[in-house]
Structure 1
Amino acid sequence: MSALTLLRGDVLEQLATLPAESVHCVVTSPPYWGQRDYSCAGQLGMEKTPQEYIAKMVAVFREVRRVLRSDGTLWMNMGDGYAGGGRGGNPEESAFRKQATNAGSLVPPSPMPPGLKPKDLIGMPWRLALALQADGWWLRQDIIWHKPNPMPESVTDRCTKAHEYIFILTKSARYFYDAEAVKENGVEPERQRNDQIGGDKSQAVRHSPGSMIGATATRNTRSVWTIPTQAYSEAHFATFPEALVEPCVLAGTSAKGCCPKCGAPWERGVETTKSFESGSGRSGNRIAGKQDLSASPTNSTPDIRQGPVVHSRTTGWRSTCACSNGSDPCTVLDPFFGSGTTGVVAIRHGRHCIGIELNPKYADMAERRIDSEVGLLAEVANG
């Protein structure tokens, strides 16, 4: 199997060529509505109204749902925009504009769509997410992509927009999700002490390790991801960042792979252990030596910095089917492939990627990029 299957053409037509239940994970950033004209026949995003755009997106993702496995996940990035202002210029310079994450001509101000007023926040991410939910998807989570380097905006009556959304959607209530693969660094435990609210902090009471709330060396990933936009020199614009795609691929697919016969993903076996470690307490070295004066005098060398820390480690992998013990790479799909960021990340982590791209310039760009950044690992099969 080639590392990349690149399908060129209309997204619905190309999705129709894929077998049902053949994809483990979908990671994509669809064209935003009314923001850029790619001058490509059949392009999405240039519909006259939000309702027309959403209807087309629902149709695309209905076909995505067909090819996605019942235990698969969809990770969809979507940004928002503002309604334009008509004569005298656009009062929102960011109106109908994706924040420099793709190439193409900016769409000029157009007649106000029904239901929107000048300067209205369109709310397209949630409009689309709720439409997909109504169409049968499980809407599992909204993740905030916080951009520390957002596009500047010359507005003075609202905050500069510095975030987009990633939605996790699934076909069922139970699905594959490798939480261990995307854990963050842990936090210090909360010290349970009698002076937590008010009181003289100099009289802090020393507690035994067993009375402290445990910390973890790592913790479950939080739902706000601070990731800068990423430039791509050939395209002269900031692309869908690799760091944004990576946790989606790692959590949504098995690093061990899947059954070659039925496609069932291997699951990670995880063991947790607890240890009491110096420095794991909230105050650390700053309160070393302080103790409860009423404690037993025999306890002459207390270390109030000690606290329980939970560690986890992978013990192995287990098959989720009864077919065989073999494994093939899991498959990641991006139906709006663009410059190929999803492919770069998926292949780098040993997954197979299927990309669908309508625009020939983007398809060629993605192919060159993957060949350059991933090299011989990215054998390409063109559809």
Structure 2
Amino acid sequence: MLPINEIHTMDCLQGLTKMSADSVQCTVTSPPYWRQRDYNHKGQLGQEPTPEGYINNLLAITAQIHRVLRPDGLFWLNLGDGFYHSSGSRSKRAGATIAQDLLGTAYQPKELIGLPWQVALAIRSQGWMLRQEIIWHKPNGMPESVKDRCTRNHEYIFMFSKQPDYYYDPAAIGQPLSEATLKDKRLCNPCVAGPIRPQRGYPGAAQQGSRLLRPNGTLSTDPADPATASRQPAAQSQAWANRRSVWTIAPKGFKGAHYATFPTSIPELCIRCSTRPGDLVLDPFMGAGTTALASSYTGRSYIGFEINPTYVKLAKNRLLRELGLFCGQPG
């Protein structure tokens, strides 16, 4: 087993084979998107001539993630889409390609590839359970100079499990109830002595309840916003609604950022609801260290891989700057 609380400079497929089976509680990652950016590293994911080549290479990685994930663990995958070009890429170095989707239909120039869903369905064929798709709504998304379609400002986050029952705590990422709901005495009784759980369902079960009501107390801030979150357990809050499947989170960069950084609040939400303090979190495409930072914020351990040594250095400096003496330690 490789050392934990460490970002290892190596190809993730090589690193995953060195990990023990059933050793990770949660995986959160955002792999390089197909033909979006060239990270100037031989063997990198994302520069395959066709979407199918990209999917096949990604499947080799998700098979290893399945092996190292605990039976009650969850795998969160963030992936964006793109449009097909006759060259197969925006890159001028790429030769002309003829590509087909998983159904054998040829792509047309300017056509939306539908890559996130193709990847999700291909991963499901490995034995994963596709439990949910989250829409990441980016209110300050990058503008696009297009006049024949709408500007995109969303991406997908898929949640996979290995089995029907898994660890999931909805209260950990609950949202404050509306004022109207709080005033409804049928739902919020100030004399409640303990948590009220829905009559139907349990964490990870079908038809899960829509809300958890907590003992009387003060409402804490929304855990989706790390700038205002108290980082206290959700059980200390008064009443929470189950988080909805559209997450409105603005992308946020930082000084010296690797240009495909996703906001810390995304992995933090995933980690909070699918792990316990001290659990191990994996990110096979660590990039700028966002998942490592979110793991440390929430008192979890982490392990990650990054093929580009420049990004490993950037991530380690970021962790040192944010966590100081606690860099490399959970909590």
TM-score (norm 2): 0.77
The verdict on how the C-alpha distance between 1:364 and 1:156 changes in structure 2, with shifts beyond 3 A counting, is same
Larger strand fraction of residues: 1
Matched residues in 1 for 2:7 and 2:187: separation? 57
The verdict on how the C-alpha distance between 1:58 and 1:238 changes in structure 2, with shifts beyond 3 A counting, is closer
- RMSD (Å) for aligned C-alpha atoms: 2.4
Q: Report how many aligned residue pairs link the two structures.
A: 272
Using the TM superposition, give the Cα deviation of residue 178 of structure 1 relative to its aligned residue in structure 2, in angstroms.
Answer: 1.2
CA contact (8 A) 1:245 1:342 kept: yes
1:226 equivalent in structure 2: 248
Is 2:273 the partner of 1:251? yes
| Residue pairs, 1:1-383, within 5 angstroms | 4-84=5-85, 107-108=91-92, 111-114=96-99, 115-188=106-179, 217-235=239-257, 237=259, 239-255=261-277, 329-379=278-328
Deviations 1:16-58 (A, max 9, x none): 1110000000000011111111111121111111111111111
1:261 equivalent in structure 2: none
Matched residues in 2 for 1:177 and 1:71: separation? 9
CA contact (8 A) 1:139 1:167 kept: yes
Deviations 1:230-277 (A, max 9, x none): 11211263611011111001011113xxxxxxxxxxxxxxxxxxxxxx
Matched residues in 1 for 2:68 and 2:328: separation? 23
SS of aligned partner of 1:6: strand
The verdict on how the C-alpha distance between 1:236 and 1:210 changes in structure 2, with shifts beyond 3 A counting, is closer
1:286 equivalent in structure 2: none
SS of aligned partner of 1:152: coil
Matched residues in 2 for 1:186 and 1:211: separation? 10
Deviations 1:307-356 (A, max 9, x none): xxxxxxxxxxxxxxxxxxxxxx1100000000100001101111101011
Using the TM superposition, give the Cα deviation of residue 166 of structure 1 relative to its aligned residue in structure 2, in angstroms.
Answer: 0.3
Instruction: Select the structure of larger CA radius of gyration.
Output: 1
SS of aligned partner of 1:81: coil
CA contact (8 A) 1:332 1:354 kept: yes
SS of aligned partner of 1:336: coil
Matched residues in 1 for 2:52 and 2:259: separation? 29
The verdict on how the C-alpha distance between 1:59 and 1:211 changes in structure 2, with shifts beyond 3 A counting, is closer
Matched residues in 2 for 1:238 and 1:133: separation? 26
Matched residues in 2 for 1:369 and 1:8: separation? 16
Q: Give the partner amino acid of 1:135.
A: Q
CA contact (8 A) 2:27 2:281 kept: yes
Quick one: percent identity of the two aligned structures?
44
